[in-house]
Amino acid sequence: MLRIPLIRASFYVLYLVVVSVGLLEVTLRFGLVTTTPYEERQALQRRLTGRPAVLVLGDSFSIEGTGSVGSQLRDYFAARGMDVVNLAKMGEGPSFYLDRLRQYGGMVKPRLVLVNYFAGNDLTDTAYQMNARGETKRLVKQVMSRSFAANEIIGLVHNGLLQRRLATIERSSDYGRPGIEKITNPFMFELRTEHPDFLIENLNMTSAEAMTAWEANEATLLEIKRVTDALDAELVVHIFPPDVQVQESHFTFYRTLGIQTDQAFLVTDRPQRRFAEFCTAHGLSCYDVLPALRAVNDRELYLEQDTHWNLAGNSVAFEEIRHNLESNGLRSAVSQYQPVAGER
């Protein structure tokens, strides 16, 4: 007899939860309460002025900031009468690039899609997703990117967990140790414990796990190509190298941190060659930024105790991208549009 009232009560609670979440979704989606996702979508729509658009996909190497490749690309295309929608996000990998393209490609309707692949961790970004925990995290991110309510609810929990992780890292006896005291990404302390071989995996690509992840990335890139073709856009992929393929001065930092390195990183280009072979086989327009950076590596091109470019590195990388866009049969994608009088 007690089971029927209990079942009814459970359905009633479920109904209240669904209705409450639905009302929250409507409230947030229409901007009645300002949230980060709402502001981001408003900013995206403001970027679209009716001119031809360029869609940029990548990780933190591609986000817009002072002197960054992302900002230089924005200014470069703006001078040619084109809008740039930059959907790059810190800490993400190829599956995220594809998801962003699927989610926003129809809205942006780009003429050109630029994908910037980071050889320093885009392989392991995929490898670490290839288990139940990683797949769950990927699906949660997709839900959060599509639901304002989920973004707020899950985001609150995530931020709390993030603060606890940071507090644990800061209590570490090595935190602030000479040689790693200027580290800009504290989560490298977690990485050295969980995956001290991540550079070896990304750059040597010799383990079975690395090859499985590379095959998954190949499939993702082919799907990005398929979606781009369906949008009647042109796809251009650049592969960005990590600091250890360019600057010998950065090895001390990783060794002090406890990350495994290989001196051969400085003279080999295994991920770049694998990328070139794949792109040639499938007719993709892919370009390698590594030679341009190695050609001027007598100066510092990366931030201290960090794998990201400094202003000089960003400048070299942008010039290489610009050269590739203008010199390799891509001129039609970036220069046919003639802005009307008064357009900027």
For each of the domains in the chain, give its residue range(s) and CATH number, in order of start. 34-333 (3.40.50.1110)
Q: What is the pLDDT at residue 47?
A: 86
Specify the amino acid at residue 334.
V
- CB contact at 8 A, 119 and 239: yes
Q: What is the pLDDT at residue 333?
A: 57
Strand blocks (E) in 163-319? 234-240, 285-288
- CB contact at 8 A, 251 and 257: no
Cβ contacts of 234 within 8 Å, gap of 6 or more:
111, 112, 113, 228, 285, 330, 333
- N-term to C-term CA, the chain: 73
- Buried b / exposed e along 136-162 (16+ C-beta atoms within 10 A): eebeebbebbebbbbbbeeeeeeeeee
Taking CA atoms, 328 is separated from 10, 222, 234, 321, 325, in Å, by 63, 21, 13, 11, 6
**Blockwise average pLDDT, block size 10, the chain, 344 residues:** 69 80 85 84 87 96 97 96 95 95 96 97 95 87 88 90 93 89 91 95 96 98 98 97 97 96 96 96 96 98 96 98 84 50 40
Q: What is the pLDDT at residue 29?
A: 86
- CB contact at 8 A, 96 and 129: no
Q: What is the pLDDT at residue 226?
A: 98
Q: What is the pLDDT at residue 344?
A: 36
pTM over 0.95: no
- CB contact at 8 A, 35 and 28: yes
Cα–Cα distance, 80 to 88 (Å, whole number): 21
Give the residue among 195, 203, 188, 190 at the shortest CA–CA distance from 253: 188
CB atoms within 10 A of CB 250: 23
Q: What kind and span of H or E run contains 114?
A: strand 112-118
